[in-house]
Structure 1
Amino acid sequence: MRLNKTFFYILLGWVAVLGMTSCADEKIAIPESLIPKVITVEEFNTGNYNGKLVQIEGVQFEESEGTKFNGTTSNANGNKTVSDCAGNTFLLFTSTSRDFANSTLPRGNGTITGVGSSFNGTVQLELRTIKDIFGLQGERCDPTAGIAVISIKEIRDLYKGSNVNIADDFKIKGVVTSDKDGGNITSRNIFIQDTSGGIVVRFTSDHAFALGDEIVVVVKGTELSEFNGLLQVSNVPNNSAKKVADGTLPTPETVTIDDLNTDNHEGKLVQIVGVTFTGTGKFKDNKGNQTIAKDSKEAIVYTRSAATFGDDALPTGAVTVVGHAAEFNGTQQVLMRNKNDIK
């Protein structure tokens, strides 16, 4: 089905090109249906432009530099997020069969032309040819510019037990301490940390921030709330965050099991020295919940089934466990980032 649509869009592109040429003394008129209608992101997302040629101005890709239109063997990886400077977003889809699927996304801001479509109820734009994004050559908009920075502790202190809708124009700045490539965190979440503390940031779609990136996050319009007891800044548009530098990872704070269970270190990178895993088997066994013990004290190390180290055997003997201090429904736990967090 997508192949037929793709052929149709390419045909539209060629017809548009032919329509702008002249033959002898006669110019061929361009059919009105081949002149793109200029619309906004919000108008496009209504779904009223399926099968129509549209042009959307003042937009840019949210993905990190070097990302490809698809670059894989699966159409499931063909969606990329495009945003305007107000934070409105839409999806651009590229199938593996397109000749530009392995091309790199442009980094500039400008105009995108394409044909509206939908898949399983999701509105998306499809390019006719690579030329439809040649207008993305302007300076990118920066939604984080000119906004005051407050500490992560100050954000955490706003939470008094019930959800907080943040109305003030603030941003937080910190180093990404989670590892998306390790698979032990969902693809929309990150942990960031500054000298005052750490917190989870949950984006509205998958992010591309890497372990060690220093980023700023605009928090105005987001929600400060707990998810299963873990405090996080939620509903963060992806273009409200920006990498500003290659950061320096904080040294994990050495804590005891008793310290961990006080909840005073939530969101921070910690290490517990000289603990022993009480069970055998793999990290992902027992629904990912593994008990560590020292001096008759116990805590939980949690591993997602998608973690790259989930099938690794639990270590024997005393080890140091590094990870994020977290909580799940009243139970304090450590979330490792990757297999190197066992020392």
Structure 2
Amino acid sequence: MKKKQNCRIEKPEIMILKFQKILRLFVLLMAGIILMNGCVDKDFDAPDPLDIPLGEVHTIAELRQMFAAGGNQPIKFTEDVTVFGVITMDASSGNIYRSAFLQDETAAINLRLMSPGGLYQGDSLRLNLKGTTLGSYENMLQIDSVHVGNSIEKLSTMVDVEPALVNINTLLSDAGYQARLIKLENVEFHNNELGQTFADPDNLIAQNRILKDCDGNQIIVRTSGYANFAGAPIPDGNGSIIAVLAQFRDDRQLFIRNIDEVVMNDDRCPVPGEDMDPITIAEIKELFNQGTTSVPPNRRLEGVVISDREHDNHPGQNLYLMDENGDGLAIRFAAFHDYDLGDQIRILAGSLPISRFNGLLQISDIPLGNGVLLGDGVLPEPTLTTIDNLKSNFDNFESTLIRIENVVIPPAGTFNGNITVSDDTGEAIMYTYPYASFANTPVTPGIYNITVIASYYNQVQLLLRNLNDLEFVDEYDPGETDLLTIAEIRDIYNDGANSVPAGYSIEGVIISDKDNGNTTGRNAVIQDETAGIMLRFTSNHDLNLGDKVKVHVGTAELSEFNGLLQINNIPNGNASLLQTGVSVEPVETTIQNLLGNMDTFESTLVRIVNATITGGSNFQGERTVNDGTGNIIMFTRNDATFAGESLPTDAVTLTAVVTVFNTPQIFIRNLNDIE
């Protein structure tokens, strides 16, 4: 077996001199052979040692300077240019593909090969760059389109390059280490990585694992799912690692060459925060109630994660934590975290801000490094309560796990958004974020026992962690509903309610025209003898202009959108057709009167006589209507069938629906509204 050379990388000029000596000896040898065999008629050509020209020689550092001087734009080599170096990482482990890393005494660079194989760790070589391109892929400098057979001459093999002993901070801050072989000591994989493998060999998926030092500095170790060590377990000790430093966008990441170069048999770093004083959630709440807006210095907080990151029903920076006393608190990191349901964690909370965000108490702006995974925790049992008790004593339940039994979940389309749920004692909003894994799952109406996190966003909110938090009890039967007039609905909102009471419906006539596209597909304007209101369904509806309908609106959200009152998130199945072709007589008014009585006219049909329309050549967009008493905006959507039609030049009688978009507006349904 050939003995491995252990040497430093020689300077390019020394390698050139050696190459030239070899060349002179070769020429003299060939001349002697020719003299001795001059009379022999050879029928073959001697191999040409100059098949790969030398050309101008550059160091790798000079190539990097050349790229920077060119404005970081790709450089195509069309002349003979040579670079010398040693291969520090090849593709034999499967951790990289059609790629290698080349290093000389000055710097290092990634080689992208035209075909796999041919280069091996320890190969000392010269590379002719003609035909290759010097460029950057996601901030990683590389020489692309390297043909191993045509562009490379191996000068020796099994050259052992000594890795540079550095620390994580240096790798993160010094761009000069890009592509170089390095060694880190006194490092370990983050607690969150323990129990994992380097990658996913079954599905051939690459993974990033976090490596850290005892000061909490972190760097990514990236491993391909094709690596021959992808299924190896993450070591749970402390020690050293030899790797090549790569980069992807702004992330510095390490590529392991061989699993034997990961040696971590020593004791792990002390758990951060051991020298800090513990603080409870109750103490944090008391401090905030007394006017303190930050956690006292040198404090640590511990608890169990009760939220479920896997199903995403909360922002990625957030989690909900309960401590051993049963108190809960919202925790917000500065970036997405990776703590899972049931993790026992420690927060280095000293001096971090305490605040309320839309009413929810939280510790915020927590650096990811201030979180420490301690292991698997024990999930607390949810506290049994009622909706009324929850609302009356929210401070006791805030950010904790609760259970409410015999909760009515009404028809609601999908889980996405607000659903008003109720028990025998009251109503509450159950909210699902649009990016939750179950957001688009259809809701099966029924009576349920629910386990939720008691949260707050301007009002009490119930957050499911996943659909396993729903325990079906019985089918939902709304039974007969009582009728409310639209005027009564508006009064309910004006009195401070944000939802329609359970068990009520409205009846009225649709005065908007979905077929002509001047309202969005989910919206319909309904009017009865008392008033009008905007209906917003959970998906596009099929209600036509002139349809008389009954709509079950019990527990539906009442809210304003840019000033327009609407009944929001109505399941489409809650509307039933009573009659078609019903006309509503518009109320004749002046613009001045309309603007002075918007509470009366909002979402109703009006007629304005002697009206002129100005502001453009067609209907599309905002146009100004004037009747001699005042001006009002008439808005036409781009999607309206008549948006491109020419505006009338003469005064007209206008039938329109009164609406609001920050300011009062009107819109016509179709061109029949112009007389």
- Please say whether Structure 1 and Structure 2 have the same fold, judged by a TM-score greater than 0.5: yes
Supply the distance in 2 between the matched residues of 1:204 and 1:13 (Cα, whole angstroms).
42
Who wins on radius of gyration, i.e. which is larger?
2
CA deviation map 1:52-76 (0-9, x unaligned): 112222221113422122216476x
TM-score scaled by structure 1? 0.80
Determine whether 1:216 maps to 2:349: no
CA distance in 2, matches of 1:149, 1:139: 24
- Measure the CA separation in 2 of the matches of 1:166 and 1:208: 23
Between stretches 272-281 and 113-122, larger displacement belongs to 272-281
* Change in 2 beyond 3 A, CA 1:293/1:242: same
Q: Which residue of 1 aligns with 2:402?
A: 270
Residues in 2 aligned to 1:136 and 1:65: alpha-carbon distance in whole angstroms: 13
> So what's the TM-score if we normalise by structure 2?
0.43
| Structure 1 residue matching 2:170: 3-state secondary structure | helix
| CA shift digits 1:112-164 (9 cap, x unpaired) | 2211121122222221222232x222111111324322211212334369994
Conservation of the 8 A alpha-carbon contact between 1:60 and 1:83: yes
Match of 1:25 in 2: none
Moved over 6 A (4+): 7-13
- The 1-side partners of 2:183 and 2:119 are apart by 14
Residue 589 of structure 2 aligns with which residue?
none
1:85 aligned to which of 201, 207, 214: 214
Q: 2:187 aligns with which of 59, 74, 81?
A: 59
In the alignment, does 2:344 pair up with 1:237? no
- Give the whole-Å Cα distance in 2 for the aligned partners of 1:294 and 1:145: 45
User: Please, which of 161, 168, 172 is the counterpart of residue 45 of structure 1?
Assistant: 172
Task: Confirm or deny: 8 A CA contact 1:201 1:236 kept in the other structure.
Answer: no
Residues 243-254 of structure 1 correspond to what in structure 2 (within 5 A)?
243-244=374-375, 246-254=377-385
Please say if residues 313 and 433 of structure 2, whose CA atoms lie closer than 8 Å, have aligned partners that are also in contact.
yes
Letter in 1 for 2:242: T
- Over 3 Å counting, the alpha-carbon distance change for 1:91 and 1:231 in structure 2 is farther
Q: Compute the displacement of 1:30 (Å).
A: 5.3
Q: Report the AA paired with residue 363 of structure 2.
A: V
Other-structure match for 2:121: 14
Residue 333 of structure 1, CA deviation: 0.8
**Structure 1 residue ranges without an equivalent (≥5):** 17-27
> Cα 1:208–1:121, aligned 2, differ >3 Å: closer, same or farther?
closer
What CA distance in whole angstroms lies between the structure 2 residues aligned with 1:226 and 1:99?
A: 49
Q: Summarize the Cα distance change of 1:150–1:96 in structure 2 as closer, same or farther, 3 Å threshold.
A: same
Give the structure 2 partner of residue 302 of structure 1.
Answer: 431
CA gap 1:106/1:166 in 2 versus in 1, 3 angstroms:
same
Q: How far apart are residue 168 of structure 1 and its match?
A: 1.4
Q: 1:257 to 1:112 in 2, by over 3 A?
A: farther
1:27-46 matched pairs, under 5 angstroms: 34-46=161-173
Partners in 1 of 2:174 and 2:376 — Cα distance?
38
Contact 2:387-2:422 at 8 Å conserved across structures: no
Q: Determine if the alignment matches structure 1 residue 156 to structure 2 residue 303.
A: no
CA shift at 1:198, angstroms?
0.5
- What residue in structure 2 maps to residue 21 of structure 1? none
Q: 1:79 to 1:315 in 2, by over 3 A?
A: same
Q: CA deviation at 1:336?
A: 0.8
RMSD: 3.4
Mapped to 2, the partners of 1:170 and 1:184 lie a distance apart of 29
Number of the residue aligned with 1:198: 328
Residues 250-329 of structure 1: pairs in structure 2 closer than 5 A: 250-257=381-388, 259-260=390-391, 263-264=394-395, 265-284=397-416, 288-294=417-423, 297-328=426-457
CA distance in 1, matches of 2:447, 2:285: 34
Shift of 1:38: 1.6
Shift of 1:107: 1.2
Q: Is the 8 A contact 1:68 1:102 kept in 2?
A: yes
Amino acid corresponding to residue 228 of structure 2 in structure 1? D
Q: 1:148 to 1:36 in 2, by over 3 A?
A: same
